[in-house]
A and B are shown apart, each in its own frame.
Chain A
């Protein structure tokens, strides 16, 4: 398949591995920021090919993992209403709230649907004038443009039976929080390529300069990921910090100005709570006042719902790269993919779920 096979070419992968081995002289800890990258690393077995000096830790860039528990509870409350059609990307359905997940709501009679695009919800809203169609707008800068476009189009079309439950988060503030932590051990970043496709690379310069770290914009296929690792290792070995782009086929320095305009038109930056990490200032997006009519939290009065996390779950430390999943006492015991205590055990992008399957073979899990 064109545009895919060449980035999964075993010969190219072999050359990059050889180059990384040649470049590395001592141990380095790199964080791949995006859950899509974690998924690809595990799916292709990339971490197994790297020399032992290079440790990849998995970052907070999994939207399923960082969406706070109370937002899931609010989603469950909204989706349970008989006058609502609740739409979500597929993998949010299995994330447990304090009580139940969206699959359980569906089983109990709620109208919960999986969509591939928020724009599908507008069609649903037009077809179901007697119901309010609510879209669960989660994700990073990558999903924000389409979600913003859906809200914008709803307003243009005068659709009053459409709303969004917003839990958008932003990557650079999370990286800043990780780097600011006294316990931080991340020495270089593979920045999330698709986020940069939208936002460009300008936001990362100040971070790289302030914390003296290399940040390499990296893609998702094996060759992309290994090019990112090689570039990051070369920068670390040379003592260089700064921002470099190893994903030039998709990312331009300015990002996608049109997409950014739509996002800025509909959303504004706000403080946002991250599951397992806590509140990070100016780390999320919320609807601007002129689009407040589309805010499901106010429309259905669920903004007050609060929730308590399991005290056993260490997913916050895992998301910050401070703990490996199997270092959590609950891992593989109280917490498994069938009985997840934290979202990192739920999502296929979640580090704990990936480790559970992988570690089981190594005899790590119970």
Chain B
């Protein structure tokens, strides 16, 4: 009788393909733990996240670096979901968007961003290399923005049920005492400032999706705006409000402002900064750059006397180099945004019913 060779025993169940996301990675079992330890914790690891509690418990007081915690500070809290096709595009990827987008939602409220959560919905079959790349982008973006990712979640859905990866981030930040920005604050006479060229992000993503090539590489403008907003608020505490013109671009953000503050907005087309490549792509595709998304630009509304001072602090900042006054608020036609066209005509810039649709001819 042959003696048993226990040393060479192996399990006949094949080792699962570990190059791709499997349904089991979202099961809560060993694969989930593997993913956490091999991908997420090495990137984001910090004392709060490493504790792997069901919730993050943070001490706000410890994290105020530039001011002492004050009872008058207010907590800013925001959430946003990120879906983008393709996942990787010139200048960024879904990971950079997921961090910068939420950081910016806090920043334009005057808040200092502190903590983020991230919830991933992954498609079965997503290459793990892609997930690692996304997570690495998020880590780098968190470092740049000075925020800590303290809690998260991962789910996996069947192949075909999502577009590679969807990410939802939430963020909390502190608004210093005395800062009170709101789109309800704007008044006739106020000036409208944008921090740079419009539409770079939307066209960069679309150019990859539709296979449009430019002579130069057009990159997404995705960037965290909290430092820019900080210097702006220091220089000009009377800023009425700020917005980041993401979906729907400048046009939609200004329509929301006009409605909320019951003012009219007059934009001067000649003063609106748009890159030549973006203009060319918009002409070709039948799109209006006023409606194309930005991910690293902001709109600020300030009292008339403050515009020059604001531009003086914005233009030396790397993310504010293209800052310009693009329009003003008026008392007539409340709720309506109009554009003084480059040739001297005037038209309304409405809120669109849905996405911009490329025209036939």
Contact between A39 and B333 (Cβ–Cβ < 8 Å)? Answer: no
Looking at B336, B357, B360, which has the most chain A CB atoms within 10 Å of its CB? B360
Which of chain A's residues have a CB closer than 8 A to the CB of B38?
A: none
Given A45-B347, A139-B361, check contact A94 B342 (CB 8 Å).
Answer: no
Q: Which residues of B contact A361 (CB under 8 A)?
A: 333, 336, 338, 348
CB atoms of A139 and B360 under 8 A apart: yes
Query: CB < 8 Å: which of B283, B348, B357 contacts A93?
Result: B357
Q: Which A-chain residue is minimally distant from B210 (CB atoms)?
A: A116
In A14-69, which residues have CB < 8 Å from any B CB? Answer: 14, 35-36, 39, 42-49, 63-64
Given contacts A45-B346, A116-B285, A116-B358, contact A1 B280 (CB under 8 A): yes
Q: Determine if A46 and B343 form an interchain contact, defined as CB atoms under 8 angstroms apart.
A: yes
The residues of B that contact A116 with a CB separation of less than 8 Å are 210, 285, 358
- Closest residue of A by beta carbon distance from B359: A91
Give the contacting residue for B357; candidates A36, A48, A91, A338; CB below 8 A: A91
Could you tell me the distance between the alpha carbons of A357 and B283 in the complex, rounded to whole angstroms? 22
B85 to chain A, nearest CB (A): 13
* Contact indicator B360/A44 (Cβ below 8 Å): no
CB distance from B100 to the nearest CB of A (A): 28
Q: Mark A124-142, 1 if CB is under 8 A from B, else 0.
A: 0000000000000011101
Chain A residues with Cβ below 8 Å from B359 are 36, 39, 89-91, 347-349
Distance between Cα atoms of A150 and B126 in the complex (Å): 35
A116-B210, A116-B285, A361-B333 known; A89 and B343 CB under 8 Å? no
> Measured between alpha carbons, how far is A36 from B336 in the docked complex, in Å?
24
Q: Point out the residues of chain A lying under 8 angstroms from B286, CB to CB.
A: 90
- For residue B338, which residue of chain A has the nearest CB? A361
A92 touches B333 (CB 8 A): no
| B276 proximity list for chain A (CB < 8 A) | 1
Task: Decide if A76 is an interface residue (CB 8 Å cutoff).
Answer: no
**A345 CA / B333 CA spacing, docked (Å):** 23
Name the B residues within 8 Å of A348 (CB-CB): 357, 359
Q: Does A222 contact B (CB under 8 A)?
A: yes
| Interface size range of chain A in the complex | 35 or more
Determine the chain B residues whose CB is within 8 A of the CB of A46 once the complex forms.
343, 345
CB of B109, distance to nearest CB on chain A (Å): 30
Q: Is A337 an interface residue (CB 8 A)?
A: yes
B316 proximal to A (CB < 8 A): no
Smallest beta-carbon distance B200→chain A, Å:
16
How far, in angstroms, from A35 to B361 measured CA to CA in the complex? Answer: 9
B27 interface hit (Cβ, 8 Å): no
A90→B210 CA distance, assembly (Å): 13
Contact B343 A222 (CB under 8 A): yes
**Is the beta-carbon distance between A114 and B358 smaller than 8 angstroms?**
yes
B residues 306-345 in Cβ contact with A at 8 Å: 333, 336, 338-339, 341-345
Q: A91-B360, A94-B354 are in contact. Are A4 and B283 (CB under 8 A)?
A: yes
Within 8 A of A (CB), among B254-273: none
Identity of the chain B residue whose Cβ is nearest the Cβ of A8 in the assembled complex:
B342
Contacts of B360 in A (CB 8 A): 63-64, 89, 91-92, 138-139, 143
Q: Which of B285, B286, B358, B361 has the most chain A CB within a 10 Å cutoff?
A: B361
Q: Does A100 contact B (CB under 8 A)?
A: no
Tell me the minimal C-beta distance from A319 to chain B in angstroms.
16
Q: Which chain B residues lie closer than 8 Å to A357 at the CB level?
A: 348, 350
- Write out, one digit per residue, whether chain A residues 310-326 have a CB within 8 A of any chain B CB (1) or not (0): 00000000000000000
Within 8 A of B (CB), among A75-129: 89-94, 103, 114, 116
State in angstroms the CA–CA spacing of A14 and B181 once bound together: 42
In the complex, what residues of A have CB within 8 A of residue B279's CB?
Answer: 1, 4
Inter-chain CA distance A89–B285, complex, in Å, is: 11
A interface list, Cβ under 8 A from B? 1, 4, 8-10, 13-14, 35-36, 39, 42-49, 63-64, 89-94, 103, 114, 116, 138-140, 142-143, 194, 222, 337-338, 347-349, 357-358, 360-361
In the complex, given contacts A139-B361, A143-B361, what are 6 additional A-B residue pairs having Cβ atoms less than 8 angstroms apart?
A8-B342, A44-B347, A45-B346, A116-B285, A194-B361, A360-B348
A-B pairs, 6 with minimum CB distance: A45-B345, A90-B357, A90-B358, A357-B350, A13-B343, A91-B357
